[in-house]
Structure 1
Amino acid sequence: MPVPTPPVSENPAVRTRLPRIGLLGVMQPLYDAMIPGITEHQAAYAERVAAELSGVAEWTVSRPVRGRQDAERAMRDFETEGLDGVLVVMLTYGPSLRVTRALTESRLPVALANIQPDPAVTAEWDMDDMTYNQGIHGAQDTANALVRAGTRFEVITGEWQDPHFAEQVDRWARAARTVSSLRRLRVGVFGYPMNGMGDARVDETALLRALGPEVHVIAPGALHRTMADLPEQAVRDLISWEDGTFDVDEKLSEEEREDHARMQLGIERLLEDSGCGAYSTHFDAIAEDGRFARLPMAAASTLMAQGYGFAGEGDVLAASVVYAGHQLAGDGHFTEMYAMDFPSDSILMSHMGEGNWRLAREDEPVRLIKRPLGIGGLDDPPTILFRYRTGAATLASLVALGGERFRLVVAEGEVLDAPELPALEMPYGQFRPSSGVRGCMDAWLRAGGTHHMVMNTGHRARDWRVLCELTGIEYVPV
């Protein structure tokens, strides 16, 4: 059974799009007299590279950069257009001092594409061919300048028409898009964080300076007012969409369905109005307010499926990394480690009732159930129930180390085709780390990995590593 498609969010803060990348082609006027028309010849090469890579990014190709003013003008244009990063391509040898200031002063993530027009040196080459293909020492000169300036950058060497090269550019471009998205991110927090939970606490100004996310506190009263002001048709439309999307529990009353729908739509409207691409709610902040009948469990699941970052208990770090998971690898899912299962060398993954149902098994229906929940002391919250899709998966935890130092703890593995757990009325699955439960957990705990994390399908450690290199986050695979 295919996983159904959720409603499309109108919030630009959560839309996932192709990365928007500038291609900065670098050369110099030295060769003009020797090879008339070389600038146009190599400009056409830059356009061919962009066309070859059109499936991984939207490209803005600069005019060939032949001097410092050209470079600084091109980089200003890239930044003005709001691009996600810049791929530097040596069209011939280009002296580093022509581009050093432009690249080191820019906030755009940078990658050096160490490529050349022709993949092989042949006996037919003449001096023109030597000149067209001499970008390698321009890349060396420029990389040296970036290293000396302390500028972070990625390097991708290869044949530009090779699918493996496109795969590497795709990985870097998605990481660049994630960097740009995090710098614009606002995380809405409804109420306050969970008392006593230390691994989610972070210096908000340090987080803003280092990675970009801004914390935006939303009073529960704003949610209550927004729920009351929603048009009845919007509520009916959401319930109708759920009827066609989920296997809906007949025990759910009309009142329960409507109240849940109003909570979901109210949260989404507040996030849109405040420009938030991620959010977190804490059950006590909702329950102790006194105006709400239930917790917004199903709301969190569908909003994650729409592209919002989410975390429970007021955890800004986890909400940010779930959002990053959407941008970097697609379909980030909020979860935590519940218990170890040593016979299967796996870990039971779940949370209180929230989960991105885009990660559901395709051979089982996604259910919307009536589910009792003692936590919070409120009425039963409608909950979306599914088992995780089997196959390769990756966990990532964002750790605040103090000040502007952050660490990402990453574990690759697989979700097992494990037996059902009939009494577990919340999304769940069993994750077997590639390093085994004992090795993974020893390393996870030594690294300070948090108890809230993002899961993505596929083996994504290399994606997260590139993101860490671009942002200065310490990368710890376990």
Structure 2
Amino acid sequence: MFNLKSFEVWFVTGSQHLYGEETLRQVDEHSQIIADALNNSSAIPVKIVFKPVVKTPDEIWSVCKAANNTPNCVGVITWMHTFSPAKMWIRGLNALQLPILHLHTQFNRNIPFDTIDMDFMNLNQSAHGDREFGHIMTKMRLNRKVVVGHWQDTEVHDKINAWARVAVGRYQMQHLKVVRFGDNMRQVAVTDGDKVSAEMKFGFSVNTHAVGDLVQVINQITDAEIERLIQEYEDTYALMPSLLKNGERRSSLVEAARIEAGLKAFLTDGGYGAYTNTFEDLHGMRQLPGIGSQRMMAAGYGYGGEGDWKTSAMVHVMKLMASGMKGGNTFMEDYTYHFDPENAMVLGSHMLEICPSIATGTVNCEVHPLGIGGKEDPVRLVFNAASGPALNVSLVDLGNRFRLIVNEVEAVEVTESFPKLPTARALWKPQPDMKVGLEAWILAGGAHHTVYSQNLTVEYLENLAEMLDIELVVIDKATTIRGLKNELKINEVFYK
């Protein structure tokens, strides 16, 4: 879906001229070894690029400016092998516009008790060199990720992986174009928001095209393109009999394929990575995109229903962050509740647009009435979501700031057949429990639309919030309503 190795993270080591050329030669050599090891780690998906050791304010400023100006450089890993006086870093850190991961490590894992001498001590000063560096970033109020441990440890690689994937997501967010086909669903609050403030904060642009512009592209799709897509449907999904060749509803599948091909062409030609539409604005379209939107998400595009451009952008960014990981990310909606005291849970679904990347078992291709929108019956993919830990993520506009809300959930196996509900279906239990999880979500102002993720953890979203410098509210096993209310009050003061 995405090639994360096309993105770079620079490995920059700090020292100074105090120690002499031999020590600096060893610092450079050790730094190269660490950078190469991280670059070759199967756990780290981006390219780690070694940079020569920096020893002066000018060298630091130059490497920071060069990182800013290098296409596809998404962040910088810093490490102080020796003591690097932190005043040297002020100008460079002020100039740096990329996320920083401060790796608090040292070249040797263990102390060589029998041979350690002052030469070794002069060379291996990370224990206090990194503290000097950490102090200046705290004094400068700089958000950064701090990872502690030996550079060969699996846990260290895993944390760098989580940070690097998010750095790629942030980079992509700054270059993302979201297209809205028509406007938001009328009278709805949470799907709307300040698109100018969003572009100022996140970098992604949100602009509108009339549905007629999309229809014009859809109407230009050739029969050959339609046949190719239909063959792909037949090879990939279990089609209901009426959609098979010579079936009575085959024309619905042909139109669905035409719409998908038109969507793909419009998004590709316009350089868009995400889009929205709404059933209230389908002028010129015969059916609401169902399978088309589902498959566009499966291909990596962001989608948000009813004009929800914030969720659309987040779907795309989170798919990029999770590229290559087991499981999926999708547009989702809390649809209805199961308030059984012994087995309370949420049914997550939507009338059409859930990404099949979260599916388990057979994915069916079906056509049914929608009962909304006033158009022909749309084709959609019908399936059940896999069980296991997951997240619901919502980005909301509070007027004076954006808030990122994350709820840990536990998806359960779907054992019911849902014979009269031809949609994608997920069942989950919110953390810490049904009542507290739902109350906390409502108090935090979470949307009814979310990004549902099977593979990202809270750490990824925490990294993203810090990189973007936005508010983060996490609802997990430790959440209490009293504690959450106090957190929201404190946040209101902090972000006022």
Normalised-by-shorter TM-score class? over 0.9
| Cα distance change of structure 1 residues 464 and 348 upon mapping to structure 2, 3 Å threshold | same
> What is the Cα deviation at residue 148 of structure 1?
2.0
Mapping of residues 295-444 of structure 1, within 5 Å: 295-330=288-323, 331-343=328-340, 344-361=343-360, 364-403=361-400, 405-418=401-414, 419-444=416-441
Once residues 20 and 395 of structure 1 are traced to their aligned partners in structure 2, the CA distance between those partners, rounded to angstroms, is: 29
Matching of residue 278 in structure 1 with residue 274 in structure 2: yes
> What is the Cα deviation at residue 126 of structure 1?
1.9
Q: Secondary structure at the match of 1:60?
A: strand
> What is the Cα deviation at residue 382 of structure 1?
0.5
Do the aligned partners of 2:43 and 2:158 also contact (CA within 8 Å) in 1?
no
Instruction: Give the corresponding residue for 1:42.
Output: 30
1:255 pairs, out of 243, 248, 251, with: 251
Instruction: Give the corresponding residue for 2:489.
Output: none
Instruction: Give the corresponding residue for 2:89.
Output: 99
Instruction: Give the corresponding residue for 2:207.
Output: 216
Instruction: Give the corresponding residue for 2:164.
Output: 173
Q: Between 323-332 and 424-433, report the one with greater CA deviation.
A: 323-332
Q: Higher relative contact order at CA 8 Å, sep ≥6: structure 1 or structure 2?
A: 1
> What is the Cα deviation at residue 474 of structure 1?
1.2
Deviating above 4 A after TM superposition, structure 1's stretches of 4 or more consecutive aligned residues are none
| Cα distance change of structure 1 residues 297 and 427 upon mapping to structure 2, 3 Å threshold | same
2:265 pairs, out of 251, 269, 281, with: 269
Once residues 226 and 152 of structure 1 are traced to their aligned partners in structure 2, the CA distance between those partners, rounded to angstroms, is: 44
> What is the Cα deviation at residue 434 of structure 1?
2.6
> What is the Cα deviation at residue 102 of structure 1?
1.6
Once residues 179 and 213 of structure 2 are traced to their aligned partners in structure 1, the CA distance between those partners, rounded to angstroms, is: 12
| Cα distance change of structure 1 residues 115 and 446 upon mapping to structure 2, 3 Å threshold | same
Alpha-carbon displacement from aligned partner over 1:316-349 (angstroms, at most 9, x marks no partner): 1111121222123343211111111122221010
> What is the Cα deviation at residue 416 of structure 1?
0.9
Once residues 203 and 329 of structure 2 are traced to their aligned partners in structure 1, the CA distance between those partners, rounded to angstroms, is: 19
Instruction: Give the corresponding residue for 2:102.
Output: 112
Do the aligned partners of 1:227 and 1:262 also contact (CA within 8 Å) in 2?
yes
Once residues 332 and 218 of structure 1 are traced to their aligned partners in structure 2, the CA distance between those partners, rounded to angstroms, is: 26
- The one-letter code sitting in structure 1 at the alignment partner of 2:79 is V
> What is the Cα deviation at residue 16 of structure 1?
5.1
Q: Secondary structure at the match of 1:292?
A: coil
Alpha-carbon displacement from aligned partner over 1:153-194 (angstroms, at most 9, x marks no partner): 111111110100111111111111111111111111001111
Alpha-carbon displacement from aligned partner over 1:248-280 (angstroms, at most 9, x marks no partner): 122133321221111111111111122111111
Do the aligned partners of 2:182 and 2:281 also contact (CA within 8 Å) in 1?
yes
> What is the Cα deviation at residue 459 of structure 1?
6.0
Instruction: Give the corresponding residue for 2:132.
Output: 141
Once residues 111 and 375 of structure 2 are traced to their aligned partners in structure 1, the CA distance between those partners, rounded to angstroms, is: 73
Q: Between 268-277 and 185-194, report the one with greater CA deviation.
A: 268-277
Q: How large is the Cα RMSD of the aligned pairs?
A: 1.7
Matching of residue 28 in structure 1 with residue 27 in structure 2: no
Q: Between 436-445 and 26-35, report the one with greater CA deviation.
A: 26-35
Alpha-carbon displacement from aligned partner over 1:357-411 (angstroms, at most 9, x marks no partner): 01101xx2101101111110101100111111111111111111113x1111111
Q: Secondary structure at the match of 2:445?
A: coil
- The one-letter code sitting in structure 1 at the alignment partner of 2:78 is V
- The one-letter code sitting in structure 1 at the alignment partner of 2:320 is Q
Alpha-carbon displacement from aligned partner over 1:274-322 (angstroms, at most 9, x marks no partner): 2111111111111xx1x21111011110000001110100011111121
Once residues 378 and 34 of structure 1 are traced to their aligned partners in structure 2, the CA distance between those partners, rounded to angstroms, is: 76
- The one-letter code sitting in structure 2 at the alignment partner of 1:128 is D
**Identity across the alignment (%):** 26
Q: Secondary structure at the match of 2:376?
A: coil
- The one-letter code sitting in structure 1 at the alignment partner of 2:429 is R
| Cα distance change of structure 1 residues 272 and 246 upon mapping to structure 2, 3 Å threshold | same
Q: Between 339-348 and 162-171, report the one with greater CA deviation.
A: 339-348
Q: Give unpaired runs (5+ residues) of structure 1.
A: 1-7, 9-14
- The one-letter code sitting in structure 1 at the alignment partner of 2:256 is H
Q: Secondary structure at the match of 1:283?
A: coil
Instruction: Give the corresponding residue for 2:490.
Output: none
> What is the Cα deviation at residue 96 of structure 1?
1.5
Q: Give unpaired runs (5+ residues) of structure 2.
A: 244-248, 476-496
Q: Number of matched residues?
A: 459
Once residues 337 and 317 of structure 2 are traced to their aligned partners in structure 1, the CA distance between those partners, rounded to angstroms, is: 27
Q: Secondary structure at the match of 1:121?
A: coil
Do the aligned partners of 1:45 and 1:117 also contact (CA within 8 Å) in 2?
no
Once residues 132 and 40 of structure 2 are traced to their aligned partners in structure 1, the CA distance between those partners, rounded to angstroms, is: 26
- The one-letter code sitting in structure 1 at the alignment partner of 2:52 is R
Instruction: Give the corresponding residue for 1:156.
Output: 147
Once residues 459 and 149 of structure 1 are traced to their aligned partners in structure 2, the CA distance between those partners, rounded to angstroms, is: 30
Q: Between 209-218 and 100-109, report the one with greater CA deviation.
A: 100-109
Instruction: Give the corresponding residue for 1:3.
Output: none
Instruction: Give the corresponding residue for 1:62.
Output: 51
Alpha-carbon displacement from aligned partner over 1:114-155 (angstroms, at most 9, x marks no partner): 111012223122223212321232222222222222221111
Alpha-carbon displacement from aligned partner over 1:395-447 (angstroms, at most 9, x marks no partner): 111111113x1111111122111322121111111111131110100100000
Once residues 48 and 16 of structure 1 are traced to their aligned partners in structure 2, the CA distance between those partners, rounded to angstroms, is: 19
Instruction: Give the corresponding residue for 1:11.
Output: none
Q: Secondary structure at the match of 1:84?
A: strand
Once residues 119 and 108 of structure 1 are traced to their aligned partners in structure 2, the CA distance between those partners, rounded to angstroms, is: 29
Do the aligned partners of 1:114 and 1:139 also contact (CA within 8 Å) in 2?
yes
Matching of residue 187 in structure 1 with residue 178 in structure 2: yes
- The one-letter code sitting in structure 2 at the alignment partner of 1:158 is G
2:4 pairs, out of 3, 7, 17, with: 17
Do the aligned partners of 2:192 and 2:307 also contact (CA within 8 Å) in 1?
no
Once residues 383 and 355 of structure 2 are traced to their aligned partners in structure 1, the CA distance between those partners, rounded to angstroms, is: 9
